[in-house]
Structure formats: C-alpha cells, structure tokens
C-alpha cells in the first residue's frame, strides 16, 4: 500500500499540475485546498524539490511550482522517491535490489511470479505521468 505521505504527494502534485506555468503556489494554499497537514506537506514538497521534480521561490510572492513539464514526469519515479520499491520482493526490485538469502533465485517459483507482477505494474506506472493525475 502507498503511505499517506505518498497520497499527499500525489494530491499536491495534481494541484500543481493544474497550476502549471502560473507562477509559485504557497504551501499553505495547497495544504488548505487538499486538506494536508501543513508541516507534513512542507517536508514532502522539499523532498520533491531535492529530487528535481519541483522548484521553489522564497520570499514574498514565492512558493512551489513544477520544474518540468508534467507530461515528462513518470508516476513510477514519484512512487520510488516517496514510497520506496514498487516490486513486492527485494530480490525482484530494479532500483532497490537485494539478493535473497536462502533462496536460489534461478529456481524459485515465487521469484518468477513476483517478476511478472513487477513487470505488469511497471508497464503501467512507467507510462503514466503527472499529467494523467489531473
């Protein structure tokens, strides 16, 4: 399951998609409109900025805004960033891979099954972008 943090991130992003290229948006505005705890949202947006998805402006008239075209930011990327691995097992994860101890990957039914699930999920999440959130 996606964490609340991830759900908040997507809500905030969808809000910013609708304001794309309309200047900076206050954290407080997003928090209010999307009913997200303000200080929690601060952390999330900062993280998205550090990952290069958002950018911000300080001072009066400042706020957050999308750094790139929403159609160019994949949903899979956001999930990996905020929520972690998409795969159901570490030993089938592309970005968070860990070898499976006590289990021969070449000969493990579960392993194969989870690769299938991963691929099916990625097929969708790698082909959807922030634009599709709106």
Partner DNA sequence: CTAGAAGTCTACTCAATTGGTAGGTTGGTG
Partner DNA sequence: CACCAACCTACCAATTGAGTAGACTTCTAG
Residue 4 interacts with DNA (CB under 7 A)? yes
Residue 16 interacts with a second copy (CB under 8 A)? no
Residue 113 interacts with a second copy (CB under 8 A)? yes
Residue 99 interacts with a second copy (CB under 8 A)? no
Among 19, 34, 49, 67, binds a second copy (CB under 8 A): 34
Residue 56 interacts with a second copy (CB under 8 A)? no
- Residue 86 has, within 13 A of its CA and on its CB side, a CA count of 21
Among 5, 67, 68, 131, binds DNA (CB under 7 A): 5
Among 12, 13, 45, 91, binds DNA (CB under 7 A): 45
Exposed/middle/buried for 105, CB within 10 Å: 0-12, 13-18, 19+? middle
Contact residues for 114 (Cβ-Cβ < 8 A; gap 6+): 87, 88, 89, 91, 92
Number of chain residues interacting with DNA (CB under 7 A): 28
Q: What is the DSSP string of 26-42?
A: -HHHHHHHHT--HHHHH
- Integer angstrom CA distances of residue 25 from 3, 10, 64: 24, 16, 5
Residue ranges that bind a second copy, judged by CB under 8 A:
1-2, 7, 10-11, 14, 34-35, 75, 84-85, 87-90, 102-103, 109-110, 113, 116-117, 120-121, 123-125, 128, 132-134
């Amino acid at each position: 399951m996606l964490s609340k943090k991830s759900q908040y991130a997507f809500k905030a992003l969808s809000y910013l998609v609708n304001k794309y290229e309309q200047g900076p948006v206050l954290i407080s505005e997003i928090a209010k409109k999307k009913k997200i705890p303000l200080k929690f949202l601060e952390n999330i947006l900062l993280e998205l900025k550090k990952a290069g998805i958002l950018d911000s402006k300080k001072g009066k008239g400042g706020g957050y805004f999308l750094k790139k075209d929403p159609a160019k930011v994949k949903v899979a990327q956001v999930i990996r960033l905020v929520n972690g691995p998409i795969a159901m097992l570490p030993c089938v994860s592309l970005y968070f891979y860990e070898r499976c101890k006590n289990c021969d990957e070449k000969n493990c039914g579960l392993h194969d099954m989870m690769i299938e699930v991963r691929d099916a999920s990625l097929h969708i999440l790698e082909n959807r972008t922030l634009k599709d959130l709106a």
